[in-house]
Amino acid sequence: MSKNIGFISTRFWGTDGVTLEAGKWAEVFENSGHQCFWFAGKLDREPAKSFLAPEAHFQNSQNIQIDKQIFGKKVRSPEVTELIHQMRMRLKIQLHQFIKQFDLDLLIAENALSIPMHIPLGLALTETIAETQIPTIAHHHDFTWERPRFSLNCVSEYIRMAFPPNLSCIEHVVINSTAQEELALRTGISSKIIPNVLDFETPPIVNHEKVKAFRDSIGLKENDIMILQPTRIVPRKGIEHAVALVKGLNEPRCKLVISHEAGDEGLEYLKWLSKYAKEQKVDMRVVETKLADPFNNTIENEKFFSLWDIYPSVDFVTYPSLCEGFGNALLEAIYFKKPLLINRYSTYIKDIEPLGFDLAVMDGFLTQETIQQVRQILFSSRLKNDIGNKNYELAVKNFSYSNLRKKLDFILQDLFNQDTSVLKPAPKVPDNIIYFPNSNTAANSSSLPKQKKRKLSSFLKLSNFSLKFF
């Protein structure tokens, strides 16, 4: 049965990991007959399917004001408590409107119930789900305990309530095995693992004109060697190691290109990084224009370059992150059959390394041996070709859309207690009738499946339905 699915987050805009992964999920759903709609504080989705709520953005001025008064503090004032609840109520009204406007059957919370970057939104969303009992998938990319900046706070009761909430109508999805273990240990919540994916069954289509236009836009010459750092500019990405690698290669043609923006966690790291690159005499170039999400095919996005216009001409990819929930950039590099350097972050060690990918690796620091390995790969077409083909074949087996479809199918069956295969959508039941067993006796009433009770409660709260007994 096809479903109307509402994605909710602080933003669906640009090329951050949460936005990209949400786009992939939506692509799988829509290719299977479902309809996807979007709620966030910043959006670049199709307007007819979007509900823009500016207060939901984590960089909203009131949310920034709240954050300054609750993180790194042991006590909060009554005034900030009042501000939190004022925003919560406004956002809750908008969430109810979103559900009703698009007649939603299912919500997917993309990190909005995972990490407390927007306390009022998390509270509003938790209460909305509790009140409507609408089936929900909480897709967790990061958790509070994974970020030191959230460790000292004066809102622990809110974090326990909503990040994440433990409600019976929510299915929790994490992106790695460590997150699954920690979530269960810290909260008692069980979850399913769905790693990041890409459509490896469909090789990328290259627009050579846009690829050339991108290189020209950042001033690269034809014989320049592009070393790509495909991440946001935040300290945990370890970009200083990419600078050190280019310095160690000692090849003037090598240019370090950083594809994503800075600003999510301030600009101090970018300032320091620029100074460091200059001191090391490394030609570092930051893409300052917006990059389009390659999974968001709106007319507006066609005006911009996307990651898919950058990767084809890349010679080598650096990914020296100190920590990652999974690693979108790793899959992207493999998708375009590009060799890459990776820092052995914990998720890579536990969930990815055992699969046998052929990568240049560092373990917290860059050695001369690793630099030499990168140099050999960089200047050997045969090595690059062999590595690219091997890694691609492994990714098809482990991180393809077909894997995602199967796992989402199981989750939907569990949530709706029926066959809602994303592979074979069934005809839709009339919207104005709900069927349920005769409940004249306590025994019959208790036999009503829990998931149907949830759906019944959700629909009765959101719409006017006629009831038909049998």
Tens digits of per-residue pLDDT, 108-118?
A: 999 999 999 99
Radius of gyration of the chain (CA): 24
Q: Is 281 left (phi over 0), alpha (psi -120 to 50) or beta?
A: left
CATH number of 4-193: 3.40.50, 3.40.30, 1.25.10, 1.10.10? Answer: 3.40.50
CA dist., res. 129 & res. 106, Å (int): 10
Q: Residue 284 to residues 41, 269, 281, 370, 412: CA-CA distances in angstroms?
A: 32, 14, 9, 21, 46
CA dist., res. 53 & res. 82, Å (int): 20
Cβ-Cβ contacts under 8 Å for 127 (sequence gap 6 or more): 88, 92
**Superfamily of domain covering 208-399:** Glycogen Phosphorylase B; (3.40.50.2000)
Q: Is residue 97 a contact partner of residue 51, using CB atoms and an 8 Å limit?
A: yes
Domain boundaries, the chain: 4-193, 208-399, 429-470
Cβ-Cβ contacts under 8 Å for 467 (sequence gap 6 or more): 433, 434, 436
Q: Residue 134 to residues 85, 309, 339, 372, 430: CA-CA distances in angstroms?
A: 22, 39, 44, 55, 18
Element (H, E) at 282: none
Low-confidence ranges of the chain (pLDDT < 70): 263-265, 299-301, 418-470
Its pTM stands at: 0.81
Give the position of tokens 């974090």: 159
Q: Do domains 4-193 and 208-399 have the same CATH topology?
A: yes
Q: How far is CA 232 from the centre of its chain?
A: 13
